[in-house]
Structure 1
Amino acid sequence: MARVRFTGPEAVTVPELGGRHIEPDEIVEVPDERFEGYVCQNSTWEAIEEPKSAPTKKTAAKAPQKTED
């Protein structure tokens, strides 16, 4: 689990964390695969401890290569 700090001005309830009530300046654990979803909101969350393993990025399948005979 990764850890983030809530930097917002007033307490919030986070449904994704089981409806947990989070106070300003509180550090919480979030699932590794959701870490980026929190820290991309840099006005309300900051990274404290990054995920142990980097999340894998999903890419589209490549089209098959055409070969000339």
Structure 2
Amino acid sequence: MDLLIEILRNSITVIVAVIGNNQQIKMAKEISKQLQDNGVTDIQPLITNLRDSLREELRLEKTNEKIVHLRFRKVK
């Protein structure tokens, strides 16, 4: 599990560092810290912020719809 958390932390940080603005980069750093410290975090605010920025850049209509996350578990 530690390896998975580390991969997730690195992925979020790198992706946001490349495409994010300063606020989003700070949010990603906080998410990374929470994952490291607690193993859990809420990424909804960051994902929503990234979506809103991207939609604005692409001149798409604003949306307030919540983003749905699916979680799958392997059944034994």
TM over 0.5: no
The TM-score with structure 2 as length reference comes to: 0.22
The TM-score with structure 1 as length reference comes to: 0.24
Give 1 or 2 for the bigger CA radius of gyration.
1
Higher relative contact order (CA 8 A, sep 6+): 1
Q: More helix per residue: 1 or 2? A: 2
